[in-house]
Amino acid sequence: MKKTVIQRYARLIAQKGVNIKKGDEVIVRAAIDQPEFIKYVVEECYKAGAKKVTVDFSYQPISKLDYRYRSLKTLSSMEDWEIKKLERRSETLPAMIYIESEDPDGLAGIDQSKVSKAHQARYKITKPITDKMENRYKWCIAAVPGEKWAKKVFPHLKKNAAVEKLWEMILYTSRADGDDPVQAWNEHNAFLLSRCDYLNSLGIKKLRYTSSNGTDFTVGLIDDALFLGGSEKTIDGEEFNPNIPSEEVFTSPMRGQADGVVYATRPLSYRGQLIENFSITFKDGQAVDVHAEKNEELLRQMINMDESASYLGECALVPFDSPIRNSEVTFLNTLFDENACCHLAFGAGFENCIKDYEKYTLEECRQKGINDSMIHVDFMIGSEDLNIDAITRDGKTVAIFRNGNWAF
């Protein structure tokens, strides 16, 4: 991939992703698949005015060894320095950049029960600290191609060709392959905002999803919740784009109001393993039955991570006619596949979906119906013939999606 093209992509992440301002601190978290690109990201952050940029590199095969050989007690504990590091982050609120590239099956074969128990134990320690940071810092998730990821997406190509092809697809779907990606995102954000404005004007009480694959599902919405999309703002009003790419308009539903069955239309990569061809049945908001052709037990573990993991935290609307779906590539990565079609998410909801959320405490937002959980896992349910109707608070039925795309 041409150096000038990926430099523009790095600039997009720094300028529109986390919107670096003079004096900002930045933390970049990335695997070691594309160190040259991470160098460009760091440089663009400094050019935008950052006073300090720290890079935390990881290597998936070492993580796999840690999970295999460390005891559950060791995996579950946190050293004092780890806690102090997180506490300092809660005080300084650096912008966070997450660069994904890892093998979607790279943690296959590990003891997932052991991993779940370790995450549950650490979450009890970190939650009071991370709650202090909620909606107070800028963050962005983007991606670069790792070799093993690229080979899984394009198995018919040789390694270098697969990486190059995945670069091409990442840049295309991220609207970063043109001469001015920043302007492209300004226009895209304006379009997504127009979708949100219309949906927020309807006074929606419920959404009903139907598809020929068997999906027949109704979910309730919170009275004063909003649809969001594209750029967001911190409590202090700093704008950022949390996901590059992003095609979604989303909201957090009312906890406890979801009934029916949904069928996944794309594989889900969860903890380095793929869950494939699955369906979920909901009753009174909770997933009460799941089936999967591959890794069903992992799916069950996921929705039992805590008492709220089996409830929904997000309903996202994505047209089937989107750049990612039109690429005809299944990325085996949720950042991309969730933006190929409509999706739902288990676990934590978004307090900033509540109108004037900054006037409420986190607990008050959750009392209004925002789900609180240690997980947030998106899974795709959009299809070519998916229809979605809104039932409004004044009793009207309004078409939102017809045949997989916007009906307005």
Tell me the per-residue pLDDT of 133-150, one tens digit each, with 9 for 90 and over.
999 999 999 999 999 999
Q: Tens of pLDDT along the chain (408 residues)?
A: 899 999 999 999 999 999 999 999 999 999 999 999 999 999 999 999 999 999 999 999 999 999 999 999 999 999 999 999 999 999 999 999 999 999 999 998 999 899 999 999 999 999 999 999 999 999 999 999 999 999 999 999 999 999 999 999 999 999 999 999 999 999 999 999 999 999 999 999 999 999 999 999 999 999 999 999 999 999 999 999 999 999 999 999 999 999 999 999 999 989 888 999 999 999 999 999 999 999 999 999 999 999 999 999 999 999 999 899 999 999 999 999 999 999 999 999 999 999 999 999 999 999 999 999 999 999 999 999 999 999 999 999 999 999 999 999
Identify any residues that bridge with 312 across adjacent strands, giving them in sequence order. Answer: 346
- Evaluate if pTM is beyond 0.95: no
Task: Say what the pLDDT of residue 272 is.
Answer: 83
Helix (H) or strand (E) holding 74: helix 72-76
Token pair recorded at residue 337: 């596949």
CB 338 within 8 A of CB 316: yes
Distance CA 234, CA 93 (A): 11
Per DSSP (E only), the strands in 284-375 are 286-294, 312-317, 343-347
Burial class (CB in 10 A: 0-12, 13-18, 19+), 2: exposed
112 vs 157: CA distance, rounded Å: 31
Per domain, the residue ranges of the chain are 3-173, 181-406
> Is the separation of the CB atoms in 316 and 273 below 8 Å?
no
Question: According to the model, what pLDDT value does residue 18 have?
Answer: 98
3-173 fold: Thermophilic metalloprotease-like (3.40.1830)
Rounded to an integer, what distance in angstroms lies between the CA atom of residue 266 and that of residue 289?
19
Asked if 93 and 137 count as a contact pair (C-beta separation under 8 A), the reply is: yes
Residues 6+ apart with CB under 8 A from 166: 145, 149, 150, 153, 154
- pLDDT of 1: 82
At what angle are helices 181-201 and 3-12 packed, to 10 degrees?
Answer: 40
